[in-house]
Structure 1
């Protein structure tokens, strides 16, 4: 086998973040009776939150804000954007979101089938994630993914965020892998693909929406089942 060690991203690659976040936000919309304001729908609430959250995550990944700032800022900003006052944001909604979301278990199609296939073929499977350690382990357990992976490397434990080469180097060291024996599978062109490339690791860009780009990538797939054609 050309590769021995396979490094997966978690959110948006195996664990279906958008589906799970959508279900969580709908639950919170009902729990806090946000429809009583009558000025926005649940779909608008979800869209505005998603846009703000993605923007804050980009700042976090570029070390412009802290984990705590991300967590306490996203909902007040959402309510302000929806035309409410900052104090209208329920005091406990951020903690509730962080508690409910990781317990959701939706994964992308073929996740279990492909992981079983790869494990049975003798590949060593690992995770590299920018997510927070406590949250990511809850996700893994809730979605029955934990036992597939030998090493689970989080940016919080490593001290470096993808695409920083140091988190990839840390993962290689922990797994006893050489870069030439390794393959990174992820959905983010900057964090997963460019980060792995700069660390000397071949990459699989998971692009289910078939977004156009002009990057040179080792492999590109739109469905996890296509990994069987590569590995």
Structure 2
């Protein structure tokens, strides 16, 4: 009896490509780096050296988040945000907050912030690797579409994703599950073939779980590889270098048989490379039977 040919040995319907959604701010975009540089400029020009830089950063970030949440809830207009958060910050440190002072503060902060925008370390390499390996990538983010697209372009990730889906476009901000549903419908993705990588437990993880998407928490300060959030076991990565392995070892991927794995990664350069990558996943997991679907 002859052995089956390669063409018929692994017969399975091709699986949909897996979509990896990412948050933008504090996930792909290093907001903290820009914020520290912007507040250092403010500290220097306004002679605020009596206050530690980290205290200035914390106070401004607190004001920023407070005002931004009000904007997401339609309690304040987008164009009024800057003045409002500067007022809150100025009051906390006894600084002047008349219109001229606010204008000067805003110009100094904005220039330094934008000059120091950068992608999160390892994120560009991770996006490039994912796309090379056949994954789809997109961004789900809160904020105005024009601003968020410009930011994605500035840090070099725009051309590495299919779409930047914003709360303005979807008419619902994270963590509302409807923005995730909107993204999946627009990009024709099923929840079982989707992941959400984000830094916020409340916005990214909660919303993804409610939408049926597998969440991955990005937390560089975490000492754990997983945690329970909203009753679900959630994978935690501390760097983007951990992302690809986390995807390979996730239950939703590794519960598939070998034939399905090969079809999912059909864009690998060769059949042997697909086998090699699969075997590496088997070697790295503590339960090979899970990988083999036994």
The answer on 1:53 being equivalent to 2:64 is: yes
Q: In structure 1, which of residues 6, 15, 18 is the aligned counterpart of residue 32 of structure 2? A: 18
Aligned to 1:72: 83
Partner of 2:212: 200
For normalisation by structure 1, the TM-score amounts to 0.86
Deviation at 1:187, TM superposition (A): 0.6
Q: Is the 8 A contact 2:175 2:207 kept in 1?
A: yes
The structure that has the greater radius of gyration is 2
Q: Deviations over 1:55-111 (max 9, x none)?
A: 333444455444334332100111111012322733253366456534533222211
Inter-partner Cα distance in structure 1 for 2:49 and 2:18? 55
Whether the 8 Å CA contact 2:228–2:234 is kept in 1: the answer is no
Is there any run of 5+ residues in structure 1 with no aligned partner, and where? Answer: none
Aligned match of 1:4 in 18, 26, 37? Answer: 18
Counterpart CA distance in 2 for 1:222 and 1:177 is 27
- Is the contact between residue 205 and residue 217 of structure 1 (CA under 8 Å) also seen in structure 2? no
Q: Give 1:1-231 correspondences, 5 Å limit.
A: 4-30=18-44, 33-35=45-47, 40=51, 42-87=53-98, 89-94=101-106, 97-98=109-110, 101-210=113-222, 214-215=228-229, 216-231=232-247
User: More displaced, 43-52 or 157-166?
Assistant: 43-52
Evaluate the alpha carbon distance shift between residue 123 and residue 103 of structure 1 in structure 2; reply closer, same or farther with a 3 A threshold: farther
Does the Cα contact within 8 Å between 1:53 and 1:74 map onto a contact in 2? yes
Per the TM alignment, residue 16 of structure 1 is displaced from its structure 2 partner at its CA by: 0.6
SS in 1 for 2:130: helix
Count of residues paired in the alignment: 228
Deviation (angstroms), 1:230 = 2.0
Post-superposition, which runs of at least 4 consecutive aligned residues in structure 1 deviate over 6 A? none
TM-score between both structures, scaled by the size of structure 2? 0.69
Q: Is the 8 A contact 2:38 2:109 kept in 1?
A: yes
Q: Deviations over 1:95-138 (max 9, x none)?
A: 66456534533222211221111010011100000133232222
* Residues in 1 aligned to 2:243 and 2:153: alpha-carbon distance in whole angstroms: 23
